[in-house]
Amino acid sequence: MNYNFCTLFDKNYLYKGLALYNSLRKNCDDFKLFILCMDDITYDILNRKHLENVELISLKEFEDEKLLKIKNTRTWAEYCWTCTASLILYLLKKYPNLEMLTYLDADLYFFSSPTPIFHELGDDNILITEHNFAPEFKKLVVYGKYNVQFMVFRNNDEGLRALNWWREKTIDRCYSRKFGKNMQGGDQIYLNDWTTRFNKVHVLQNVKLCLAPWNVNKYNISARNGNVYVDDTKLVFYHFHSFEINGLNRFTLADGAYKITKNAATLIYKPYIEELQKIIKEINAFDNNFKYGIIKRNINKKIISFLKKYFYGFYRFQSNFKNKITNFKNKITI
């Protein structure tokens, strides 16, 4: 099957973006990846690397009047989120022969072929994925029931209708901050009602195909025949949200709020770290002036991370204890 993907990232996500690309090369026989380079440094390096199956898009050729008008009204992260819908729409209009296009967050990494996800999509128009929060993170649904991480759009009237609507909404407002009592959850908050707003929107049912730090502790992670399994399901991709590169040999797996199990650290995070280490060395050899993508953790970050780890750890313990008591009472009743 031929896959058409798109993503966007800047110089601070270059290492992760290249890891995503390498993982697609390992797990997709036939694909094309469109990359919107969010700065000239990223475009220059990727252009000089001549990556196979990649088409680069410069920010200059992509940005239109509407995007430029609101660019300075939000943070850089918020602007990148704003560009998501516009990028997908831009490519489907530029290449009308594309049957469908899949958006990928740059911090995804594939562990096996995405074919099972597309089989689930069937002949539907759009595919979206739920956050699938672990119990301790259910309150985070205020940021959106669904995650933008992996989205498929058919190049038809309904796919384009959804993208045009989403683009206008994100251009109007795309923030990660509170407005009165309401939390504005970036671009993903607008997906909440898509199953009723648009036709033939498919929500991925096999949630074990894709994991993230906010749900990985719900499952048993194991290895079989060189593949990573989530219970009895082969993992397709992992979203390395809040993963930090602190140096060539120093990494922060996830925000302190998240619990990364030993098996997840060994089977999911270790291969990703090894991939990133190779990429960092390659880029340093390719362009020794490149000094981006490394995050220095100061004392404030370490303290906040520790407090989150303690708070959510206590919450998890309390939740597990209550579940055990409930199960015990149910057994006695039976």
Q: Which pLDDT score, from 0 to 100, does residue 298 have?
A: 73
Written as one letter, the residue type at 143 is Y
Same domain as 302, residue 157:
no
**Residue 154 contacts residue 101 (beta carbons within 8 Å):** no
Q: What is the CATH number of the domain that holds 140?
A: 3.90.550.10
Q: Which pLDDT score, from 0 to 100, does residue 328 have?
A: 43
Q: Which pLDDT score, from 0 to 100, does residue 326 have?
A: 46
Same domain as 328, residue 292:
no
DSSP state of 114: S
Task: Give the range of the structural domain holding residue 319, as residue numbers without chain letter.
Answer: 298-334
Same domain as 248, residue 214:
yes
Same domain as 129, residue 64:
yes
Same domain as 306, residue 291:
no
Same domain as 261, residue 327:
no
Q: Which pLDDT score, from 0 to 100, does residue 185 have?
A: 75
Instruction: List Cα–Cα distances, 110 to 59, 105, 269, in angstroms.
Output: 26, 12, 12
Same domain as 67, residue 29:
yes
Same domain as 321, residue 261:
no
First to last CA, the chain: 51
DSSP state of 125: S
Q: Which pLDDT score, from 0 to 100, does residue 87 have?
A: 98
Quote the number of domains for the chain: 2
Same domain as 243, residue 173:
yes
CA distance linking residue 179 with residue 193, whole number of Å: 20
Same domain as 151, residue 99:
yes
Same domain as 228, residue 307:
no
Q: Both tokens of residue 307?
A: 């407090």
Q: Which pLDDT score, from 0 to 100, does residue 310 have?
A: 57
Q: Which pLDDT score, from 0 to 100, does residue 152 have?
A: 98
Q: How many residues does the chain have?
A: 334
What is the full per-residue pLDDT of the chain (334 aa) written as tens digits?
799 999 999 999 999 999 999 999 999 999 999 999 999 999 999 999 999 999 999 999 999 999 999 999 999 999 999 999 999 999 999 999 999 999 999 999 999 999 999 999 999 999 999 999 999 998 889 889 999 999 999 999 999 999 999 999 999 999 876 555 555 778 999 999 999 999 999 999 999 999 999 999 999 999 999 999 999 999 999 999 999 999 999 999 999 899 999 999 999 999 999 999 999 999 999 999 999 999 987 766 666 666 666 556 655 655 554 544 544 445 565 5
How far, rounded to the nearest angstrom, does the alpha carbon of residue 254 sit from its chain's CA centroid? 14
DSSP string, 141-180: GGG-SEEEEEEEEESSHHHHHHHHHHHHHHHH---EEEET
Same domain as 184, residue 50:
yes
Q: Both tokens of residue 84?
A: 């998501």
Neighbours of 185 (CB within 10 A): 21
Written as one letter, the residue type at 30 is D
What does pTM read for this prediction?
0.91
